[in-house]
A = this chain, B = another copy of it.
Amino acid sequence: MERKITLSEKEIPDKWYNITADMPNKPLPPLNPGTMEPIGPEALAPLFPMELIKQEVTTEKYVDIPDEVRNIYSMWRPTPVYRAYNLEKMLDTPAKIYYKYEGVSPTGSHKPNTAVPQAYYSKQEGVKKITTETGAGQWGSALSFACQHFDIECEVFMVKLSFLHKPYRKVMMNTWGATVHPSPSNETEIGRKILAENPDTTGSLGIAISEAIERAASDEHTKYALGSVLNHVKLHQTIIGQEAILQMEKAGDMPDIVIAPFGGGSNFAGLAFPFLRLNFDEGKSIRCIASEPSSCPKLTRGVFRYDFGDTAGMTPLLPMYTLGHDFVPAPIHAGGLRYHGAGVIVSQLLKDKLIEARAHDNLEVFDAGVKFAKAEGIIPAPEATHGIATAIAEAERCKREGKSETILINMCGHGNFDMKAYEDYFAGKITKHVLSQEEIDASIARLNTPLIPD
């Protein structure tokens, strides 16, 4: 059998899949933090184009993908599914391992899947400039790439830790014409305030989001774009799983387990939601596992309650698994997973036990990443190594139990811009980091946001 299962450009799906249409319990509404009343979509209008706000709350099962978006998708999509024969052999497992490889995009990750439609709808509505945050730099790169295709200005607040670790991500964004600031920056009020309090902070996604929102809110032709967490972002990413279903059918196989790294949820949602649809519609029982870092374990050890999406408390209150909105994760290399909360859809799915979660420490994931690089050739992004670590654990379980299960991983990006992380790993500078219960308790004790009744 061939290693790569490919599709033609004609097979790029023409609709995104909206899982909320199928969920037995719908996500609770966001709350206005002033009044504690549910807020409607109109509250998001200063920040987002109307079409994206509509997608945020739509109850339709499918949303059409505009032709112009599919056309830009075709610059790298459909992405291949690989059968990981070499990894199976290395692990001596009876499990069959496949991975959907999103690293073939121009920016090297799955992020352009939502950056392109976000820039497209912004252009349709006359937006001149888009601001955003970025962790590992993958989202910022994706938005820079998308904005330049639609001739929109792009301004990126990049978590300082990643800015320092990954200078070349900045150059990549510059190549597509974007402006990049290390966050916290002196460009915004919230940035200046945080720098005054803690000049040595390495930043966080929460802080960078606050900066980008402040900047967008101050100008009527400027909008804000988010690379994960929100419903419309997850919606756009379902292109991944829909392609993967076609590819698994083509391979004459179907996963028993679907695995993806988890930061805010778009990576996981992208691959898993279309497979969950098969559970809903066709009564399948595909296990979907979200893989998160032990140093930022909101799904496995956080609380399910209302919390802010950003550090400064500028967003509506969202019902989510969270470690607390002022929690600053340890400076692990997987910058894209250093986020305190989980998107509301994924949170509800986990609450309802329709999905699973697994945490891996910093050392375990790099062990997994190097194994994967040796076997399959591709050096994975630090974020992607989390899903690989879960897959290896499941493949080893299959070996112990003598089961030939089929595993599908979202191999969400390559590590070409993350070699500093591997350098640290080979130099023995990466040590096991698991968040202590005291730290979690202290962070959650600081929360004064509403509880969600059982």
Contacts and interface: CB of A to CB of B under 8 A. Distances in A.
27 contacts: A2-B9, A2-B10, A3-B9, A3-B75, A4-B9, A6-B6, A75-B86, A75-B377, A76-B377, A104-B104, A106-B376, A106-B379, A108-B416, A167-B419, A168-B416, A168-B420, A171-B423, A171-B426, A172-B422, A174-B422, A174-B426, A175-B374, A175-B379, A175-B426, A176-B374, A177-B374, A414-B416
Contacts of A8: 2, 6
Contacts of A300: none
**Top-3 shortest CB links A-B:** A106-B377, A168-B419, A416-B416
Contact of A417 (B9, B174, B177, B416): B416
Nearest to A424: B171
Contacts of A168: 416, 419-420, 423
Interface residues of A, number: 40
Nearest to A376: B75
A145 interface: yes
A377 B75 CA distance: 8
B3 A377 contact: no
Interface string A1-23: 01110101110000000000000
Interface in A350-399: 370, 373-374, 376-379
Given A168-B419, A172-B422, A175-B379, 14 more contacts: A3-B74, A4-B9, A6-B6, A75-B376, A106-B377, A145-B377, A168-B420, A168-B423, A174-B423, A175-B422, A175-B426, A176-B373, A177-B374, A417-B419
